[in-house]
A and B are shown apart, each in its own frame.
Chain A
Amino acid sequence: MRNLLSAADLDRDEATAILDTAERMHAIQTRQTKKLPPLRGRTVVNLFFEDSTRTRSSFEIAGKWLSADVINVSAKGSSLSKGESLRDTVLTVAAMGVDALVVRHNASGAVQRISEWVECPVVNAGDGTHEHPTQALLDAYTLRRRLGPLDERHVVIVGDITHSRVARSNVLLLTTLGARVTLVAPPTLMPPAVGAWACTTSWELDPVLSGKAHGDVDAVMMLRVQRERMTGGYFPTAREYAVGYGLSPARVEMLGDDVPVLHPGPMNRGLEISSAAADGLRSAVLEQVQAGVAVRMAVLYRLLAGAGEPATGLEESPS
Chain B
Amino acid sequence: MTGSARVPAPHPGVSGPTAVGGVAPVLGPAEVGRIVDRMAHQVIETIAKLDFDAALLGIPTRGVPLARRLAERIEVFSGVPIAVGSLDITLFRDDLRLRGVRPLNDTVEPEGGVDGRTVILVDDVLFSGRSVRAALDALTELGRPRAVQLAVLVDRGHRQLPIRADYVGKNLPTNAAQSVRVHLAEIDGSDGVIVTDPAADSVPAHGEA
Contact = CB atoms under 8 A, between A and B. Distances in A.
Interface residues of A, number: 29
State the 6 A-B residue pairs at the shortest beta-carbon distance, nearest first: A306-B101, A306-B100, A309-B100, A318-B209, A24-B104, A311-B101
A176 B31 CA distance: 47
Contacts of A25: 104
Interface string B98-109: 111111111100
Contact of A317 (B61, B98, B137): B61
Contacts of A319: 59, 123-127, 131, 206-207, 209
A317 B207 contact: no
Contacts of A311: 100-102
B101 A27 contact: no
A315 interface: yes
Interface residues of B, number: 36
A38 B96 contact: yes
B204 A306 contact: no
Interface string A282-319: 00000000000000000001100111011111011111
Given A316-B204, A318-B207, A310 B100 contact: yes
Contacts of A317: 60-61, 89-90, 93, 102, 105, 131, 206
A306 B131 contact: no
Nearest to A35: B141
A20 B96 CA distance: 18
Please indicate which of the listed interface residues A20, A27, A310 has the most CB atoms of chain B within 10 Å of its own CB.
Answer: A27
Contact of B102 (A37, A66, A307, A315): A315
A17 B126 contact: no
A316 B206 contact: yes
A33 interface: yes
Given A317-B105, A318-B127, 7 more contacts: A24-B107, A25-B104, A35-B141, A36-B141, A37-B137, A301-B101, A316-B206
**Among B100, B105, B107: residue with most chain A CB under 10 A:** B100
A31 interface: yes
B99 A306 contact: yes
B160 to A, nearest CB: 12
A6 B35 CA distance: 53
18 contacts: A21-B103, A21-B104, A25-B104, A27-B106, A27-B107, A31-B142, A36-B91, A301-B91, A305-B91, A305-B96, A306-B99, A307-B100, A311-B102, A312-B102, A317-B60, A317-B61, A318-B209, A319-B131
Interface string A158-170: 0000000000000
A90 B169 CA distance: 57
B97 A306 contact: yes
A24 B89 CA distance: 12
B88 interface: yes
B7 interface: no
A90 to B, nearest CB: 25
B96 A306 contact: yes
B205 interface: yes
A211 B106 CA distance: 38
A28 B123 CA distance: 23
Interface string A28-43: 1001010111100000
Interface in A219-247: none
A17 B104 CA distance: 9
A179 B96 CA distance: 34
Given A306-B97, A316-B206, A37 B92 contact: yes
Nearest to A303: B101
A25 B91 CA distance: 10
Contacts of B137: 37
A317 B141 CA distance: 20
Given A27-B107, A317-B206, A318-B131, A309 B101 contact: yes
A35 B92 CA distance: 11
Contacts of B99: 306, 309, 315
Nearest to B132: A319
Contacts of A316: 61, 204, 206
Contact of A31 (B89, B124, B141): B141
B198 to A, nearest CB: 14
B45 interface: no
Contacts of A37: 91-92, 137
B186 interface: no
B100 to A, nearest CB: 4
B110 to A, nearest CB: 15
Interface string A2-26: 0000000000000001001100110
B75 interface: no
B208 interface: yes
A38 B96 CA distance: 7
